[in-house]
């Protein structure tokens, strides 16, 4: 009888535990506010488009930090409403988010990992820009805070996670993110606004040096990266992969591919940064 009693107690405990587990699986994920991130007090007043933001701060965005002041603080009540187009889900975008609206895209620099957990691709957010800085790093438009390097040059870089949490709010809306089609006739010289910070799709391209052995990057290679040019685009656009990307050790595809990624400017070059391996589609 004691044995039977013990079995029944264990069975009941298992049922209770299973019930709790089922409840956890069925429960909705907490919102950003419930999880303690984001600022619920941000409203939808004084919203401008990303194109308007870039025009308003054009001097700060287009000035090389080695030549002049490449940042400006937003002093007035100004907000943008945008959707997340890129995050750090597989480690290729580091300490930054890419967001876009119908008029353009921009990069937000945040000194924190795991941003994808609360800011998935497709999530709509409102960003309160007052007190933050708009400018550039490598002539790529960014939102963040100033950083001064060892040479004394200052540019826009990563804000703290605590500061970021004060300046954004999730609206609770999500939508499917569609990339912008890349025009192969586009001339990149002096054009940092058309594709910079946007989710872009390149079609029917191939990678230089892809022989079945060459990999996306060098896992264990430290904080570096690898850049691979496209055969069809000369030296103006390249595929950029961080050594910390989850897929760094994967071999580069050898045939024709379609590539979707965040397009960023770095001085005279342009980088396509894929978010996951799903952003690379082999052309059949």
The Cα–Cα gap between 92 and 12 comes to 46
User: Domain check: are 216 and 196 in the same one?
Assistant: yes
**Is 98 in contact with 85 (CB distance < 8 Å)?**
yes
pLDDT value, residue 35: 55
User: Domain check: are 168 and 186 in the same one?
Assistant: no
User: Domain check: are 64 and 98 in the same one?
Assistant: yes
Of 143, 174, 205, the residue at which a domain comes to its end is 174
pLDDT value, residue 221: 86
Which residues are CB-contacts of 64 (< 8 A; sequence separation ≥ 6)?
70, 139, 267
pLDDT value, residue 34: 53
User: Domain check: are 124 and 142 in the same one?
Assistant: yes
| 37 found inside a domain | no
| 97 found inside a domain | yes
In 57-113, where does DSSP find H-type helix?
58-62
| 15 found inside a domain | no
| 43 found inside a domain | no
User: Domain check: are 239 and 264 in the same one?
Assistant: yes
DSSP letter (8 states) at residue 67: T
User: Domain check: are 168 and 189 in the same one?
Assistant: no
Query: Vertex 225, ends 221 and 228: CA angle to 5°?
Result: 125
What are the structure tokens assigned to 244, written together?
A: 């910390």
User: Domain check: are 257 and 234 in the same one?
Assistant: yes
DSSP letter (8 states) at residue 175: -
The Cα–Cα gap between 120 and 231 comes to 32
What is this structure's pTM?
A: 0.85
User: Domain check: are 154 and 170 in the same one?
Assistant: yes
| 250 found inside a domain | yes
| Domain, as residue range, for 62 | 50-174
pLDDT tens by residue, the chain, 284 residues: 444 444 444 444 443 333 333 333 333 445 555 555 799 999 999 999 999 999 999 999 999 999 999 999 999 999 999 999 999 999 999 999 999 999 999 999 999 999 999 999 999 999 999 999 999 999 999 999 999 999 999 999 999 999 999 999 999 999 999 999 998 877 765 565 779 999 999 999 999 999 999 999 999 888 899 999 999 998 889 999 999 999 999 999 999 999 999 999 998 889 999 999 999 999 98
| 17 found inside a domain | no
Query: Vertex 93, ends 222 and 79: CA angle to 5°?
Result: 140
Phi and psi at 63, nearest 5°, equal: -90, 125
User: Domain check: are 135 and 212 in the same one?
Assistant: no
Which residues are CB-contacts of 217 (< 8 A; sequence separation ≥ 6)?
224, 225, 226, 241, 242, 243, 245, 248, 249
Of 158, 174, 190, the residue at which a domain comes to its end is 174
User: Domain check: are 149 and 236 in the same one?
Assistant: no
**Domains in the chain, number:** 2
The enclosing domain of 137 has a CATH number of: 2.40.50
User: Domain check: are 150 and 220 in the same one?
Assistant: no
Of 111, 144, 174, the residue at which a domain comes to its end is 174
User: Domain check: are 163 and 236 in the same one?
Assistant: no
């Amino acid at each position: 009888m004691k044995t039977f009693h013990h079995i029944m107690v264990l069975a009941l405990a298992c049922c209770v535990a299973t019930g709790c587990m089922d409840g956890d699986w069925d429960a909705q994920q907490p919102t950003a506010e419930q999880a303690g991130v984001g600022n619920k007090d941000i409203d939808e007043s004084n919203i401008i488009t990303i194109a308007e933001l870039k025009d308003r701060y054009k001097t700060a965005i287009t000035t090389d930090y080695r030549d002049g002041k490449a940042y400006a603080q937003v002093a007035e009540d100004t907000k943008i409403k945008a959707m997340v187009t890129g995050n750090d889900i597989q480690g290729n975008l580091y300490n930054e988010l890419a967001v876009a609206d119908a008029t353009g895209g921009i990069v937000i620099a945040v000194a924190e990992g795991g941003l994808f957990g609360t800011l998935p691709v497709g999530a709509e957010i409102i960003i309160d820009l007052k007190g933050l800085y708009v400018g550039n790093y490598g002539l790529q438009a960014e939102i963040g805070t100033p950083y001064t390097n060892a040479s004394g040059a200052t540019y826009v870089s990563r804000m703290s996670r605590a500061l970021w949490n004060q300046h954004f709010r999730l609206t609770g809306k999500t939508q499917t993110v569609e990339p912008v089609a890349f025009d192969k006739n586009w001339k990149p010289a002096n054009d940092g606004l058309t594709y910079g910070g946007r989710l872009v799709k390149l079609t029917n391209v191939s990678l230089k040096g892809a022989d079945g052995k060459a990999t996306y990057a060098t896992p264990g290679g430290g904080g570096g990266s690898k850049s691979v040019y496209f055969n069809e685009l000369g030296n103006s656009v390249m595929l950029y992969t961080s050594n910390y990307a989850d897929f760094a050790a994967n071999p580069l595809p050898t045939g024709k591919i379609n590539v979707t990624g965040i397009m960023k400017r770095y001085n005279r070059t342009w980088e396509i940064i894929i978010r996951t391996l799903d952003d690379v589609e082999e052309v059949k």
